[in-house]
Structure 1
Amino acid sequence: MSGEGGQQKSQKQSPRRGLLSFRTFYTLTIIVVFPASGIVSFKDVAFTLFSLVYVFFLSKVAFPILDPSTDRRVFGKNNKLLSLYISFTALIGLILPIGYIIDGILEGDKERIKAAAPHIFLLCGQGFMEGFTFNAGFSIPIFAFVPVFYHSRRIFTIVHWLRAEMGKTVNGELVGSAIRVYFGRGLAVVNLLVWCFNLFGFLLPVYLPRAFKRYYGYKEKV
């Protein structure tokens, strides 16, 4: 889900704030570390780089900035329900999978954790791009485009992750710790359900239309 700029406070007097906030910094760290460790493929790195180039392209040809001082949040910054849901998705989509990967590294399970790594890498790429487009003052449709774009890609990586988890058997017997295997399967299933709901139940029918309404509503007044 979009973090609405990480629930950062709007400062209309200075719309272009520091681009490396703490949230942006730690997501950028994972973006750098995972490819360097060899657990994500070049195509996932290329996808992230392409998203950076494409937001600049869209900003120039389709959705230019109409008023740099406009708050780019689609929902209010004090929306407690949204904040709780963002925290929940961060736990399910980032914190628990990172713990799962760390546990796999400690157990020498590097090959099997490669299935979970692309999802985490792309989620951090999404977090970085959301923070970047918000702090750099891009228009509302550009800011809303990022989570939709990344969700559409990440769902495929989660399906691949789930298939890898379900395949951890040899002649019907579990490969590795039973607790770890079942935890990995449950985590992959929950992530697939959460992010499918996020894309098809929230971002496309609710979030994106509101973003366009705000953008074009302002444009009509100019």
Structure 2
Amino acid sequence: MSGVSLAMSGPDEHGSMSLMGSLRVIELQLVAFVLVFSASGLVPLLDLAYSALISIYLMLLGRFAFPSHGFGPAHMFEGSGAFHVYVVIGSTVGLFLPLAYVLGGFGRGDKAAVRSASPHLFLLSFQILTENVISSLTLFSGPVRAMVPLMYTVRRIFVDIDWTHDVWLNNTLPTNPHLKDKAWFWFGRILAMANLVYFSINLFGFLIPKFLPRAFMRYFQERERFMQR
């Protein structure tokens, strides 16, 4: 989901969902979410266009810049136990809790909450689906696979900045709020901030300095093996 899924996915694994078990039902639900978000007007046109353009760009990268040498998807990063915990935290903070927040917003009639969190959830859902497709095909090389979380995370950080700004500066508690209202209010604030912090760390602490170089190193090793055949 955040790049660590691609790092640890192998020939028999499929992107982010493989890290959390056999969750094909959730993958189908993500397709539904993407379609709903796209048709509902909850996601800005810029994010819709960004996802479409990134998909085209990835295909061009795979065709002209970093063609596959026929080697199947492989582990690009061997993680420790702490690394697996990091992945689970990212899945929880980035996907499951925002999903609960959006669904809770629908249930409470809180249109502001739904509107502020939907772009994040849309981009992450689209990223996961793209990772699943790319990581299961030998058509795409390691660098192309690595670019998926990198490009989506960069965009999502800006979306999370807007989300954080919205819930911290634009949302206010009603007069004499109930305990549930207070809990919901602070849940949205903390969740937005947690996503901004997590994915900023993920981008600058993992994807750029560790994951991307490892993907390119493995790609050039595979190219040498391919040319020596």
TM-score higher than 0.5:
yes
2:126 matched residue in structure 1: 125
More divergent stretch after superposition (154-163 vs 125-134):
125-134
1:142 matched residue in structure 2: 144
Q: Distance in 2 between matches of 1:10 and 1:31?
A: 26
Contact 2:7/2:77 (CA < 8 Å) preserved in 1? no
Q: Distance in 2 between matches of 1:43 and 1:210?
A: 31
Q: Distance in 1 between matches of 2:175 and 2:201?
A: 32
1:92 aligned onto 2:93: yes
Q: Distance in 2 between matches of 1:171 and 1:98?
A: 24
Cα deviation for residue 45 of structure 1 reads 1.3
Contact 2:7/2:76 (CA < 8 Å) preserved in 1? no
Q: Distance in 1 between matches of 2:31 and 2:47?
A: 14
Contact 1:34/1:121 (CA < 8 Å) preserved in 2? yes
1:52 matched residue in structure 2: 55
TM superposition score normalised by structure 2: 0.83
Distance 1:79 1:27, change over 3 A: farther
1:195 aligned onto 2:199: yes
SS at match of 2:73: coil
Cα deviation for residue 181 of structure 1 reads 1.2
Corresponding pairs, count:
211
Cα deviation for residue 102 of structure 1 reads 1.1
Give the aligned residue type for 1:75: F
Cα deviation for residue 217 of structure 1 reads 1.9
Contact 2:146/2:215 (CA < 8 Å) preserved in 1? yes
Give the aligned residue type for 1:184: G
Give the aligned residue type for 1:57: L
SS at match of 1:115: helix
Distance 1:190 1:28, change over 3 A: same
Distance 1:92 1:40, change over 3 A: same
Runs of 5+ in structure 1 lacking a partner?
Answer: 12-20
Q: Distance in 1 between matches of 2:6 and 2:81?
A: 15
Which of 193, 215, 220 is the matching residue for 1:216? 220
The structure carrying a bigger helix percent of its residues is: 2
